[in-house]
């Protein structure tokens, strides 16, 4: 028999972390950083058909000091990389980044000296969104996954401990090895 049975109906029990996470996840203000064709799909999410305002994102930050989410849509050139980093540095903590499209995530088909081969070389990325270009529905899915991540974040010293544990887990991960079908390559060469 817990306290839940003794309380009258309509009483909500939660923790400060859960309430703060819920509030933060529903008040994310994006700083859109559209650089190529993915930006057109990103702009569509603010239109009446998709309506980003349903997720508490009706205010796009006109200045990085008002934004806490950066959506990098499209390829990032070497000349644009310092500008991207400067905008990221001006955003207040906590801040998140979505890499939208294959060009932002890995350079895409542009494997040359002028294009950064992945925006994660410049800023830390929270969500990678594949596609060329990804549909607005895919961006919404990435935003909802980010909301989930924000809601489950710890606060204070627990957050520092959680970040340390995640970093340690990533450092101990073994690299991915693809071995299926390798022994058949010798007969085809």
Band of the pLDDT at 12, cuts 50, 70, 90? Answer: low
Band of the pLDDT at 188, cuts 50, 70, 90? Answer: very low
Q: How many helices (H) and strands (E) does the chain have?
A: 8, 4
- What pLDDT shows up at residue 189? 43
Q: pLDDT per residue over 146-186, tens digit each? A: 888 888 887 777 777 877 887 777 777 766 555 555 555 55
Maximum mean pLDDT: which of 42-46, 76-80, 174-178? 76-80
Question: What is the average pLDDT across 39-61?
Answer: 75
My answer on whether omega of the bond before 148 falls inside 30° of 0, hence cis, is no
With beta carbons less than 8 A apart as the criterion, state whether 31 and 117 touch: no
Q: What percent of the chain has pLDDT over 90?
A: 0
**Measured between alpha carbons, how far is 45 from 140 in angstroms, rounded to an integer?**
8
Global pTM value: 0.74
- What pLDDT shows up at residue 7? 64
- What pLDDT shows up at residue 60? 67
């Amino acid at each position: 028999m817990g306290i839940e049975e003794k309380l009258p109906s309509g009483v909500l029990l939660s923790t400060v972390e859960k309430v703060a996470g819920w509030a933060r996840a529903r008040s994310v203000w994006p700083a859109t950083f559209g650089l190529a064709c993915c930006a057109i799909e990103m702009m569509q999410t603010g239109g009446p058909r998709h309506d980003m305002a349903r997720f508490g994102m009706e205010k796009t930050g006109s200045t990085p000091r008002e934004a806490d989410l950066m959506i990098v849509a499209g390829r990032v050139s070497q000349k644009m990389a310092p500008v991207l980093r400067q905008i990221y540095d001006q955003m207040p903590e906590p801040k998140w980044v979505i890499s939208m499209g294959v060009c932002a995530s890995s350079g895409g088909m542009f494997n040359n000296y002028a294009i950064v081969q992945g925006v994660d070389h410049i800023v830390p990325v929270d969500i990678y969104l594949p596609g060329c270009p990804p549909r607005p529905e895919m961006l919404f899915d990435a935003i909802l996954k980010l909301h989930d991540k924000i809601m489950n974040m710890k606060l204070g010293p627990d957050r520092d401990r959680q970040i340390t544990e995640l970093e340690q887990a990533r450092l101990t991960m073994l690299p991915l090895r693809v071995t299926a079908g390798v022994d058949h390559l010798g007969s085809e060469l």
